[in-house]
Structure 1
């Protein structure tokens, strides 16, 4: 029931009636009573105006009620006519009562006497009725109404409710019809009546009189304190009589008054809101109750006990689940999470159930990071409550696999799902839902791997095993929709259309249409129509999908963005260019926001998958659109340029920012997490150097643990930022507009962002990769977007020896990638460029033009990871120290290696685990490089003469340990003259790898991780590479890019890798080259010189000697490199392979 506790308005009825007698009747009830002199007969009291206000008949000095009681003169009927009643009393008592106002007052007082003195309701009734009849005879309506009220009160106290209501109603009707001068009296009568009822707990009886009282609108009823009480009681009365809508209106008017008086944090307010919400919810006024419950939840109602709080929570969940409103469900879950968390230690089983629920809700809302977090907690607690092999753990692991699949991490999804199934297979049986979820993971993994026929088979099996009816029917429709998507990928568009249509019909019949999956079915069907050229139907279904997404308020999900981008395609195809372009720009902004948000929580592997599966494709369409329309909309080239600044090296930038945040946090929890991460990385280094058949631990498990720690670190940093303990700007990916690059350019300078993307044509994503240039100079209002060539044409050009590619008579590269932009470089002398895709393999300095000159003769060329780096200051090498490696003895024996390893403190090295497990048949060997010995001795001399302090490590002393010992305290310049290696992905043919087949080099040549397929060799490397076993107690002499990336070499301004192919690696979209080049920047080094092909020993020594001579003169490595390359070009002009193989990158 609705209770107000301390804010009741009811006063004591007896006191109130006394006040009424004294105040109510102007002209009838005086301010002062003047008594008549003593004597027998009628004594009359008058006010100061002479108006009668009291009377009593006296006989023999005693009041008449004395004689009535003494003689028992009450044997008359209250219903008698007044003349008969007076006749009886006059005869019985020997008095002379007449029909007058005085007699009415006398009879009333006699009735009061018997009521107050003897509680004699029956006798009081007779005299009150006689008084009433007399007043009616006198036609004194005000006094009659007054007596009607007292009769009603008498019957109420006598427990005669019907009689009471009759007289109360007659009293109210009398005063309602009196002139306006009696309105105050009418209000007080009404108030007295409902107060009397309320005091007796009869709220329903009070309703009529409260209504009439409030209708008067007099000042008292507008008093907030009184009004809120009256409205509350009115609401209760309505509710109890079934007038629930009127009750609701009264309650809703009451709440703001209570809030204004007490405040929303008051205990009374929160209890009132809770009581009202519970009443409404239980009586099927759920739509009205939910806002009240939601307000309570937003208030964090500390005054509610746990049961109340859980009732609020449960009601909200039930309501929104019925509506399939997962956005609000996740909102409720998020608000309740702090409260629910207290049960984690006190009631683990309850918390496990809530954690599972939270995980499911956040999945539906696309908040996969939170879904994963709660599912991991659930699994951990189940292991504690039950056992590691309990079937409940197995089912939850499969559920976790579903989450990883939604996070675009199919490998991890399959791994944890298989772990879960292994647990279930050992039990008494596999739950049906677990089987279905496992099949879904398998099927989606097959889709990710483009094995669509296998996926078709899997999804048909899922449909066959899926239950039907109820909620399961919608799941069936969703599965059918996925099968339709598989038909789309199989290019069976007719079957895809029919299957989507069937899925939509099934979903509609269930009534469950407020979920993202339903919107996707409609949006995907639109794609089928677009493919068939039916753009009218395509736009219709696309509009339905977009409207549904907006309805369910899930507009930041990638699937919604897909539908918006599809709409841009359809509009462009219909010729609605302006609307298409506007939509594309809007989508562009949304994509950037989505990526920024996920960077804060997802691991690097998850982000990489997310970028590859969704974000890259989104940008592919946008850039296709921009290319087609940039002439008439030049601002689109600016958008494209901004995208390149945002995307290139995105994960590398993000990783660097988080490392900075960790370093500056001074937080013990972060320190512990990063230490765990370093240890796992070190163990992975060990495992990855072993052939797969010799690994005792599955590296995939460690990779998952590593990713989990990454996310914990990010979550911890985010929490510290929220608390103000850390600058939140450190976490955000700074979005640099092209205007900032333009502003740092000087006259005569230009910046070129090369870009590559899969081209979209006529609503269809093609397999053709387009290469474009975005050219910007000081005077540009907008960059120019210029088409260059395609990926197939580039691959054809690059599949030759460097001397043929860069032959002065071969202008193929020039025609494809430079001539189209040359007209935009008028009066330009300096070009800062950032390559993309296959352009990372091109030595731009050596590209010959149609006149036989090379580009480095026309321009001063500077290669950048991104032209955004121009906004960072860069000039000279900072510091005076140098570490130089060369003349390395790759055959150093193990005893010497262990001896040389001792001086390097393990504390100074990055965590690593020595590999002591044998490797099979390492038959290949690395030859000594005599030129590298001469090279480093000459460099050491040049540095010394240039006032730098070089340390040169030759032959046996050039150990891997010595490099790792610089972790956290590295030299200003690190120069390594050695062998380098870079093997392509295993699905690409490589001659060297084919020659090494079966010799045990698979740990490097066939590694999945591209950072393991690139590296440098140090002392003793042949022992591990060729002899099949690395030395116990020492590093193996093979520094992989994976290991280099884990070092802190941030004090180093320049690393020179004077070795073969150190600039190569796997090219991964906007992240660039995954190999030594990437690892250099991951280690924090500012700039690097790396090679694009196999470089000869002697000519490399020449170039490096020239470079350091120039560096000591100009102190700027970029300028020194350009001068040195110019000189080498002069010496070997017709042999580009001898002078153009190295590039300087910053």
Structure 2
């Protein structure tokens, strides 16, 4: 049974840069707007003025003492100051005398107020420089006419300090706050209103800088003065207590903060009433305090009360009511109540856009949180739309360099990741990281968060060598800047544990998870969301590590904590409960499992208001699976069918849950002996999976494509086993259809995407390629997200419209590119039967896994319009025999008489059983699979002691598609020969670019181009003495036939020569004599595949190692370049990988000869044929490819090549020229051993 579970990675999303310090009182909207704007940009302004900021921060270190000194200095003069602080207007004369005229004080006060109001208006609109000019004008006026002790003068100084802080002039701002405070205390008195205002703002100034200890002293002094001057129960004093409490929260003194807020609320209820705005404000702060601690349920009651009171007192459309409504909607989202949150977010957005405009912070907050909600509920299309809207607003208003814009990029990258668009996600994260680092610095919390997220997406692509050092760097920065016990540090430790898990290092992952859990318990307590998330992750680790008892214990623990934290009817709580039931099923605790799963289903149905939710459908499938395990087959059958019908409607036909139910239903039908029903179900799943793969692989990363194919192979194998068991006309037909659609699929899709990338360089095609890519991505996004409430009614039509659009755009590109037209051409079984005709037969080998998970071999034969099937069963004996035969053939010292018996021993079980289906056909198209790709079939020996090459014309092809697709127009270029490169040439490695890379000692991290693994960096080749001579012989033969030839060798045989040549004129023949290689895949792939289902309902499988990036040919300069691979120009680094071959322009090249050691081996992927260079060359537009299976003597190679070229250049088709050349060697006793002629194989399409 496949297990899916909740995956609670501690991912660090960003929306608006969080406001540090306490929550501002919400009693004066204009000031709140200004202050919100100030806070949003303040930390950025600090970073923009690094040098000045450092000086200012040093200055603030003595600020506390200066405040205390100022307070003490004024104690002795308080009485004098109070005596002198009579009313300003009463002290002013009726007129003010100047040198020129007499000024009316009332008019003067009015003029001052007008200037000051203008300054504040400019401030509100964000025109800070203009605002500062007006404040300075108001201050000078007040200084001259009202005097330095006048409150208006001091108020101007206060706003001036605020503005300098906003502009990043922190040193000036700090000095102004201190000077203004001293003057105010001396002139107005310690207990005066203006002193309290200055202390309030000065405390906020420290809080903005993150200096909460300093802010605490200043706010504490303000509170004490206010208590003495105004009384402890005065609303203004209580508001200062509220500010103190919020600062306590910043200092993580949560118990003290809670007590102070509760005291403030109780006092305000008595003093001004429960419905007064100050009381409501404190209630809301209390709710936010609980949220900061992860106490979401305790936060709900005060926030709901606050919203109800604001609605009643201020009205539903008032700004502060909308802000509270948005906070409540966000709390509902966090509590897993999306149905309540979504309409509230939409209402807030609609009302606030009309009231405040689309760029208001409230609108941006609401859209960001709504995007998160849609992301949580897998409505990725809607999520992407809202994140994009927020990004575009911030980009327009704040610019690309602002940290909020960088945060928006982070959020967009997260959605691309969820959609499986990993390369785009990575590029966007890198862009966000660069912008945030420039804005706030590398050690800023926001920068560290993006660094973490980038590491996650690198991990998702299997780039572990890049992900781990980035995690470790982020962790080190977080521990230094924020502390080892900070939530970000703990989250990074959690994600590092996940990295170890993804690599299959389960013991290391377990230790790290356990350490994170203990730290979370110490810092936050057992019931904090972060703690339970790590417990859940540990439970899943135990599950995939085959430790179900420990998994059950931890899932149940997570369930109990979530139940306490969120209540029983919460989405996360019920996921843990459901997962516990599934593990109990695995353990055979069937009665307990039934109780658990029934309870989970009932509660989920109640929570989501019916069955139309993916979590409910998850439970229905799991309960049906339990009935299956209990032997209650008919109950299981009914429930599976009901679940499937609902899933098709609610989730869509291509949702992972829908596929899982289809597979479970087919298994049940098979168990019940209903084979025809099981066939219908399996066939439906196969057809749907083809559709899924065609949509998803096109936009997936290069490594991830192989993982998708690996991931869904078990369901394909189950279908094949069923077809074999049916043993009727459906067996051969459907297995051949599987071969036709799945063999070579990975390379076919990769080739298509490469061709689209190349065509994008053409101005005429750029728009079409961009539209095609966008439509493909949208189609993949809709496939992964499935129907949403907005699209459910027209979802099939949306998909159909997009598919029609994709097909139309592809046809337009096909008109411009014959290679692309080949790639997208549709081929059916009937098309292949017609192409084979009556003159030929076709033999298609296919491998699958049996019920014991062992590889087996079968074959489909097409002959005279009929399809036949033969099942060999076990593959392993053939592997042993093939390897033994190859070992004999590769040894030049083994005589032919010793080879033939071994070849005949293999012929008997492999070829003889199918001769009855071939009848008398001697022209046979042959499609090998798995290890058969490295078998020289022509060297098998029949019962007449003859090699098959002597009796049969075996025509090797990579896919049956090749017989149907239209041939390309043959190229008319030269013969290009690249032979005997100088692998030790240092021309490339000594280039300025390469020296710069070497001196920088960078890690393996690369931002673009091909990622090179450690294996490639260890490559080192010895010279091939005979390769240059081989090239000279071919040049001479071609010259004798009057063919134009280009010959490149030694240091000149660089990779770029191949690229520059084909860019000018496509060669007719390309002959490469050099070393070839194929590196082994990384370890632990199996364990990584096991972990693919981690929590997401739309899983992105763990990356497989892409063979296209580990197969290649060596060119000049490789040996010194190897340590720099991936960091120097990949177009000329000495390695031509199979992936790079796809980008070559070889359209119409008739023949490529790879006369090199090992080039034919490739990686033997089940169902993917030889995943090496020869298929890549074919996909790049080459008709026929000749390659070698092992290294042949120089004389033997030169002789065979001379014979072949002599015939080919005389007009023989390449396949016939090669066959005749090899037969001539068979007839010559000196060269008759398969060692000489058996190493070369030719794969062709049309000739």
Deviation, structure 1 residue 590 = 0.7
Match of 1:821 in 2: 914
Compute the TM-score of the two structures, normalised by the length of structure 1. 0.56
Per-residue deviation, 1:640: 2.6
Q: Could you tell me how far 1:1009 is from its partner in structure 2?
A: 6.3
> Are 2:718 and 1:621 aligned?
yes
SS state of the match for residue 965, structure 1? helix
Matches within 5 A, 1:546-945: 546-547=644-645, 549-550=647-648, 552-614=650-712, 616-629=713-726, 631-632=727-728, 634-665=729-760, 727=812, 733-759=824-850, 761=851, 766-780=852-866, 783-802=867-886, 804=888, 807-808=900-901, 810-874=903-967, 878-886=971-979, 888=980, 890=982, 926-930=1022-1026, 932-945=1027-1040
Whole-angstrom CA distance in 1 between matches of 2:650 and 2:1129: 61
Whole-angstrom CA distance in 1 between matches of 2:767 and 2:473 = 28
Distance in 1 (alpha carbons) for counterparts of 2:582 and 2:831: 43
The CA deviation at 1:743 is: 1.6
**Counterpart in the other structure of 2:1170:** 1073
Given that residues 374 and 383 in structure 2 are in contact (C-alpha distance below 8 angstroms), is that contact kept between their aligned partners in structure 1? no
| 1:963 shift after superposition | 3.3
Q: Cα distance, 1:436 vs. partner?
A: 6.9
Aligned to 2:160: none
- Whether the aligned pair in 1 keeps the contact of 2:827 and 2:964 (CA below 8 Å) is no
Query: Is 1:519 aligned to residue 617 of structure 2?
Result: yes
Q: CA RMSD in A?
A: 5.8
Give the Cα separation in 2 of the matches to 1:752 and 1:398: 51
Q: Please identify, of 827-836 and 728-737, the stretch whose mean Cα deviation from structure 2 is larger.
A: 728-737
- In the alignment, structure 2 segments of 5+ residues that lack a partner are 1-321, 327-338, 511-537, 543-550, 771-801, 815-819, 890-898, 994-1006, 1085-1103
Distance change >3 Å, CA 803–CA 986, structure 1 → 2: same
Say if 2:506 and 2:541, in contact at 8 Å, map to a contact too: no
SS in 1 for 2:972: coil
Superimposed CA distance per residue, residues 597-638 of structure 1 (whole angstroms, 9 cap, x where no aligned partner):
113422222222222223x22322222222222x33x24533
Q: Secondary structure at the match of 1:811?
A: helix
Query: Does residue 1:1087 correspond to 2:1172, yes or no?
Result: no
Distance in 2 (alpha carbons) for counterparts of 1:1010 and 1:979? 17
Aligned residues: 769
Deviation at 1:1044, TM superposition (A): 4.8
**1:1139, distance to aligned residue in structure 2 (A):** 1.4
Written as runs of structure 1 = structure 2, the 5 A alignment for 1:86-125 is none
Instruction: Give the C-alpha shift of residue 377 in structure 1.
Output: 8.5
3-state SS of paired residue (1:756): strand
For normalisation by structure 2, the TM-score amounts to 0.52
Whether the 8 Å contact between 2:845 and 2:927 is mirrored in structure 1 is yes
Query: 1200, 1223, 1233: which is aligned to 1:1103?
Result: 1200
Instruction: State yes or no: 1:1126 paired with 2:1126.
Output: no
Preserved contact between residue 651 and residue 658 of structure 2 (Cα < 8 Å): no
Which residue matches 1:345? 395
* Bigger mean CA offset, 852-861 vs 411-420: 411-420
Partner Cα distance (2:487, 2:988) in 1: 62
How far apart in 1 are the matches of 2:1108 and 2:739? 24
Q: Is the 8 A contact 2:1078 2:1163 kept in 1?
A: no
Counterpart secondary structure, 1:753? strand
**Matching residue within 1059, 1062, 1076 for 2:1156:** 1059
Alignment of 1:285-324 (within 5 A): none
Counterparts of residues 125-136 of structure 1 (less than 5 Å)? none
CA distance 1:354–1:486, shift in 2 (3 Å): farther
Q: Which protein, 1 or 2, shows the higher relative CO under an 8 Å CA cutoff with sep ≥ 6?
A: 2
The superposition leaves residues 769-806 of structure 1 with CA deviations (integer Å, 9 ceiling, x where unpaired) of 122212223422xx333212423222221232426476
Unaligned runs of 5+ in 1: 1-277, 283-289, 676-716, 902-910, 989-1006
For 1:268, the equivalent position in structure 2 comes to none
1 CA distance for matches of 2:371 and 2:987? 71
Alignment of 1:80-229 (within 5 A): none
Distance 1:577 1:924 in 2: 55
For residues 1111-1136 of structure 1, give each alpha carbon's deviation from its aligned partner in whole angstroms, at most 9, with x where no partner exists: 12334212211222222233358632
Secondary structure of the corresponding residue to residue 755 of structure 1: strand
Secondary structure of 2:921's partner?
Answer: coil
User: How far has the Cα of 1:485 moved from its partner?
Assistant: 6.7
| TM-fit CA distance, 1:336 | 5.9
Based on CA coordinates, which of the two structures has the bigger radius of gyration?
1
Following superposition, the deviation at residue 868 of structure 1 comes to 0.3
Return the alpha-carbon distance in structure 1 between the equivalents of residues 364 and 903 of structure 2: 74
- Give per-residue Cα distances to partners, 1:631-677, cap 9 Å, x unaligned: 33x245333322322222223222332333344445679989999xx
**1:1093-1121, CA deviations, whole angstroms, 9 ceiling, x for partnerless residues?**
23222222221111111212334212211
Kept in 2: contact 1:898–1:1031 (CA 8 A)? no
**Which residues of 2 match residues 431-470 of structure 1 at below 5 A?**
439=494, 442=497, 446=501, 449=504, 451=506, 456=539, 458=541, 467-468=562-563, 469-470=565-566
Q: What is the CA deviation profile of residues 517-568 of structure 1, one whole-angstrom value per residue up to 9, with x for unaligned ones? A: 5534553565566567664565456446435534633432233212202211
Cα distance in 1, alignment partners of residues 371 and 1116 from structure 2: 67
Q: Find the residue that maps to 2:588 and give its secondary structure.
A: helix
What is the alpha-carbon distance in structure 1 between the residues aligned to residue 492 and residue 642 of structure 2? 29
Query: In the alignment, is the contact (CA less than 8 A) between 1:748 and 1:827 conserved in 2?
Result: no
Q: Give the superposition deviation at 1:1087.
A: 2.4
- 1:893 and 1:884 mapped to 2: Cα distance? 19
- CA distance in 2 between counterparts of 1:921 and 1:355 reads 34
The answer to whether the Cα contact below 8 Å between 1:478 and 1:503 also exists between their aligned partners in 2 is no
Where do residues 939-954 of structure 1 align in structure 2 (5 Å cutoff)? 939-954=1034-1049
After superposition, give the CA deviation of every residue in 1:1031-1050 in whole Å (9 maximum; x if it has no partner).
99997766555665554444
Residues 427/663 of structure 1: CA separation in 2 closer, same or farther (3 Å cut): same
Residues 1143, 334 of structure 1: alpha-carbon distance in 2 compared, 3 angstrom cutoff = same
SS at match of 2:854: strand
Distance 1:1134 1:940 in 2: 26
Deviation at 1:594, TM superposition (A): 0.7
